[in-house]
Chains A and B, each alone.
Chain A
Amino acid sequence: MAANTGSHSISAVFEITAAASAGRDFLHIPAEACRDYADGSITLTYGEAAARVAALASRLRAAGYGSGHRVALALDNRVEFFVFFLALANLQVSIVPLNAGMSVAELAYVVGHSDVAMVVTHQGHAPHIRAALPAATMLVVLDTSDQALPRAAGSRIAGNGEAALLYTSGTTGTPKGCMLSNEYFVAIGRLYTELGGYCRFDGAGDRLATPLPVTHMNALAVSFMAMLMMGGCLIQLDRFHPSTWWRSIRASRATAFHYLGVMPAMLLNKPVSAEDNVREVRFAFGAGVDPRHQAAFEERFGVPLIEAWAMTETGAGAWITANREPRHLGQRCFGKAPPGLACRIVDDNGNHVSPGSAGELLVKREGADAQAGFFSGYYKDDSATAAAWADGWFHTGDLVRVGEDGSFFFVDRSKNVIRRSGENIAAVEVESALQTEPDVLASAVCPVTDNMRGEEVFAFVVLRAGVSPSLDTAARLQTHCLQLLAYYKAPAYFGFRAELPQTASQKLARAQIKTLAAGAIRSAQAFDLRYSKKRAVRERVRSTVRDYADVVLAAPVTVPYVRYSIRSAHWFVAQTLSRLIKESGLHKADIDGLSLGSFTLAPDIAIGLTQHLGVTARWLDHVPLGGACGIVAMRRALRAVQAGDAEVVACIGADTNHVDSFRQSLGNFSVFARDAVFPYGSGGPNASFAFLTSHYMRTHGATREDFGKICVAQRDNALGYPLALFKKKLTLEEYLTARLIADPIRLFDCVMPCAGAEGFLVMRRQRAEELGIPYVRVRSTAERHNAFPDDPIQSRGGWVLDREHLYGAAGVEPADIDFVETYDDYPVMSVIQLEDLGFCAKGEGPDFIRRHSFMTTGSFPLNTSGGQLSVGQAGCAAGFLGLVESIRQLTGRNLAPAVPDARFGIAVGFGMITYDRGLCSGAAIISRADA
């Protein structure tokens, strides 16, 4: 079909295309880009989109929305954003795209400044957005039902023809609202689709993929309008996912994609694979590729990276693209000025620079209307608009030079802007935020190069006298910024100085500061807090989960395991309690809280045990959660002690094992097991884990040798742990040729059911110090039950959802962890846990195993006492095994060989296979008392 370029409004373009191409795809969201809100990928045809847009438009019209209103949309890159945009465009209502990552203060500013009549968001952002809104501003939270829309209340202030008010960071602190007309959008679509050269659209099957946010002009106007005009399909991702990028591109049959400078770097960083050749993609369109990467990327992936230059303000009015040769690869070349565009390159004083020298780029249209195609001005800021258009030229703030053949080369930004992962951050804005912290006397913020993000934010701070220039102070200042600013704006690096370099005119010497910052990083004179800028961390800062600083774990005890016992579980509980008392020096009466995990107490539950043991408790818990009961019992006990509901809680996991009890327990494990597993003869979880193991092996290329390496290493660890039931070395050969249980599972993939018990005490830190007993600190914990219920087969656990919280709250990264105690009921679960906890990416487990050694003294100490695979699985005690071993390792009272200089460990819980998968997942990061 021919491009639909004759229309003058977004709405008209859409209507004409939708009528001509009703059956064709309009919008496609790959599954990995809508995990948060949909079960699978989403595809909308033009016809379907038109119907939804029409229905929504009529509801909006009925609610009184019309020309001149503005509506803010905080809908991320979701389908609803586009439906709302088109429906509102149809009513000549202007939109204000909101980045929900902004802080409450920033959101409040934008919402207030833009005079919106209504804000629309989804449930995920609702609490955050609501906190930012004045009482009078109406908030619509989308859910599955078509709830009524509030009556339009705001005034009709948007100028005629305004389609969007888009806020950019500006350079001076507060964001500026760029008024963008319908013509602006249409002109961009027309310009881009008619560029030609490498940027070829054929109108028959164009499918353009973009991971960029709709809160930026690129995704809001360029990719969207291009597909609208061509009748092509917009493939809109929520963000850039490096690990699945090519899969997304291939699966969604993209013919072109948009990029940011950091994307090629991250994609090149991945190992070369047979899937690298993606020649079905005609071109990639973007800006800011690292000069070192452009040629390498094109060579490896066969996709030309077409560099371009434009700004929100300049739109189609000033837009330069390197869409034809010569493209001067690797020289930051963005092409030649197109006909009709007038350019000047000037120095600080506004004079032309000599040919080939760098200067600020000034642009305008030739002819009568110098501003044709440009934005319509900054909303409520005529002086800023006038300043930008001083002397009739638009001042871009970018330093460029022009080569002999007329090609433009990007040099730098003259404005004080940091460009991090596509976001422009004004240095002044960050400095203003720092300045509100009383300990900060002065600050200077500048960009530093970052391999992942292009640039990162660096802050030099002059501290008030007496404040220590420490990591703690840096973290505190960063937290302060995170509360005031969108997370990406907070400094990732802090350097403390006695004074800041200034120019003769008493201004900050920006260029010198930049050099100093780079030097500070090189010489390790700066505090690196990049990690805590991450996503979940800012969630934590917002919700401020209380930490466990005042409560600790102590007195790790084990009642030695036996294969079969004639004792009851009650006996094992009593033995554990007795050992806890002896280990801690407490009296029985001092223990006023009891938490029990056991499967074999029936018909008793925890309460019966108080009488059995003669314990008077004021806090009691029964947590028979199998492999997760240790983590869960600990979490609850920590909070109980913290809250003062108990002074000392004994957490105990204990089970007995009679000759026939394991078999008998299987059929009664759950209703689902009885109805839908046990009748199939698998007799326990072996078959479920055979499925899971074979699925993992098939999907990720793991081999029996990989799992064997883990089992053999754990056995080696167990040989040094006197309480392990297995006392004989295991060879890889023995592992590989052991009796087949349910292929590919063989004997040594399975744990041995046995009797035994584990326990520890939870108490206030002060109490432990008074008692003079060693203790460990709990840095963070998480539990998650029935995560990912829609996964057809278990390939991940709740850790995926919780790991950022785990590390964020603990203030550590995976690299800081000295040992890991996985829940190793089968070796494949250890691998899945290592992936989900961020030690390697999903599917990279096999490679991780091959690279590491897992003995206590190896490169990655794993299950340091041998794990259940070599110690034995004593029912619910197995859920305590890793936790108790972690306490031993970190208090130096280890029975197994010590992990050298261990400061941080992770204990993982997993379990309760009531049907086809383990429902519980949990984890805790534990540290040495002084870490």
Chain B
Amino acid sequence: MIPPSARSRAALGLTAAAALGRFELQVCGICAAVQYPPREICHRCLCDSLHWREQSGGGELIADTFVQHSNDMYFRERVPWRLGLVRLDAGPTAVVHLHGGCAPAPSRVRVGARLDKSGQGVLMAFPFDEVPNMPDDRQLREMTCDPKLRKVLVTDGKTLVGQAVVRALIAAGTDLVWVGYAEAWKNSAEFTAMAALPRVVLLPLELIDSQSVMKAAADIGAKVDILINTAEVHRTHGIASQSGDEAARSEMDVNYFGLLRLAQEFGPAMRSRGAEGQASAVAWVNLLSVYALSNFPPHGTFSASKAAALSLSQCLRAEMRSVGVRVVNVFPGPIDDEWSQMLPPPKLTADALARAVVNALQCGIEDVYPGDVAQEWLMRWRENPKILEKELSA
């Protein structure tokens, strides 16, 4: 059961921004009018030169109500549901989901955009100034995938990133973390330390082995609320710098086929538990790479495997959408690990990446580009993917 998801093409701009955790409205390039609801033309000057621009979200709550009765099946199960009408400082009036911490109208609020359970952008008004326990709001938690009090599977605890993610989850109040591990004979001090953390349960999991994945899914698939796939193989080759396809195959086997195997085995169980009220499967996180957007030739085969994984994740997202399980893609730039030693800083630390993953779950973000390199890369890609390709091949 998910909220109404039909949107006009114009309105999907709101969703696109919300997927990145941004609140954007259409601003007219000619007369500067800010408008909402979205349209294909400027309601003031009738031009079609509209740009989505980030908004501060400040506004006045003019009226508020608790809906006690809804004709919609999703909301019917969730009433009373708090709604507000906000006059944004930028001009338009908006119907919004209303955070429980907002004072009754008239009061100052800050409007933000979130993805709802259907994966579409919606507006929600928050108290203008922070109040305690804001993320715990019942309606907000419908829009987010906060790991707090949820059960999470991290597919690979052997990597620095995997270990950092586990630590961040524990810190965020996760109820239980299953940590997958392969190559049981090879242990590091970091892995041992992590395994000793409270609420951590180790789980043998070889993504290159269908049987292993199937067995893990049979054991815990029906209990996982959030799956975070941190497993990856990263070699630093282009095409010319290697002979044979062994390295490329092993990247593909984990980065692409590993995701496919996970999706086939864990997907059905999570789908059946999607949008099930408070104790439901809520999110699936893929650790991709910003190289998935455009090939980084020095890491050419790795880029290709991540591009394949990105494409597959979009399929997974489409299949998960109807049950309200959010697929979160993380696109880090170079990480400060052994595979990016040759690259100059800035590089993302494993802890920073882990924090970004947890934050994305807490804030309900769908596409995460953590760190300066990823942000810059994204900006260049959004502006013109062809130019980025030419820059990278220079």
Contact = CB atoms under 8 A, between A and B. Distances in A.
A612 B4 CA distance: 35
Interface stretch (B57-65, B148-156, B333-341, B369-377): B57-65
B120 interface: yes
A706 interface: no
A895 to B, nearest CB: 32
Interface string A673-715: 0111111111110111011101100100000000000000000
Interface of A: 662-663, 666-667, 671-672, 674-684, 686-688, 690-692, 694-695, 698, 739-745, 792-793, 915-916
Contacts of A916: 85, 93, 95
19 contacts: A667-B6, A671-B37, A674-B7, A675-B11, A679-B4, A679-B118, A682-B67, A683-B69, A687-B65, A688-B85, A691-B65, A694-B64, A694-B105, A695-B63, A740-B69, A742-B66, A742-B83, A743-B66, A792-B93
B20 to A, nearest CB: 19
A683 B65 contact: no
Interface in B54-94: 60, 62-72, 74-75, 78-79, 81, 83-85, 87, 93-94
Contacts of A680: 83, 95-97, 122
Q: Which of B11, B64, B71 has the most CB of A within 10 A?
A: B71
Interface in B81-126: 81, 83-85, 87, 93-97, 105-106, 116, 118, 120, 122
Contacts of A690: 63, 65, 67
B93 A687 contact: no
Contacts of A739: 68-69
Nearest to B88: A792
Interface string B283-316: 0000000000000000000000000000000000
The 9 closest A-B pairs by CB, nearest first: A681-B75, A683-B71, A691-B63, A690-B65, A675-B11, A676-B37, A792-B87, A683-B70, A663-B71
A524 B94 CA distance: 55
Contact of A687 (B5, B6, B67): B67
Interface in B226-250: none
B38 interface: yes
A274 B173 CA distance: 54
A745 to B, nearest CB: 8
A694 B104 CA distance: 11
A585 B263 CA distance: 73
B105 A698 contact: yes
Nearest to B71: A683
A679 B7 CA distance: 9
Contacts of A688: 85, 95
Nearest to A789: B43
B83 to A, nearest CB: 5
Contacts of B105: 694-695, 698
B3 interface: yes
Contacts of A694: 63-65, 105
Nearest to A691: B63
A308 to B, nearest CB: 43
Contacts of B120: 679
B8 interface: yes
A692 B79 CA distance: 20
Contact of A682 (B36, B38, B60, B83): B83
A845 to B, nearest CB: 17
Q: Which of B3, B5, B72, B75 has the most CB of A within 10 A?
A: B72
Contacts of B3: 679, 681
B96 A681 contact: no
Contact of B71 (A662, A692, A915): A662
Contact of A667 (B4, B65, B68): B4
A681 B65 contact: no
Given A676-B94, A679-B122, A743 B6 contact: no
Contacts of A745: 65
A683 B71 CA distance: 5
A692 B5 CA distance: 26
Given A681-B72, A793-B93, 19 more contacts: A663-B71, A671-B37, A675-B10, A675-B38, A681-B3, A681-B79, A682-B95, A688-B85, A691-B64, A691-B83, A691-B85, A692-B63, A694-B63, A694-B105, A695-B105, A698-B106, A743-B65, A745-B65, A916-B85
Given A698-B105, A743-B68, A687 B37 contact: no
Nearest to A696: B63
Q: Which of A663, A677, A679, A744 has the most CB of B within 10 A?
A: A679
A674 B6 contact: yes
Contacts of A684: 71
Q: Which of B10, B70, B75, B116 has the most CB of A within 10 A?
A: B70
Given A672-B37, A675-B38, A686 B85 contact: no
Nearest to B94: A676
A674 B291 CA distance: 37
A793 B85 CA distance: 8
B69 A793 contact: no
Contacts of A666: 71
Contacts of B66: 740, 742-743
Contacts of A915: 37, 95
A676 B36 CA distance: 9
Q: Which of B5, B11, B87, B93 has the most CB of A within 10 A?
A: B93
Nearest to A915: B37
Nearest to B118: A679
Contact of B62 (A667, A683, A695): A695
A793 B87 CA distance: 8
B102 to A, nearest CB: 14
Nearest to B75: A681
B292 to A, nearest CB: 30
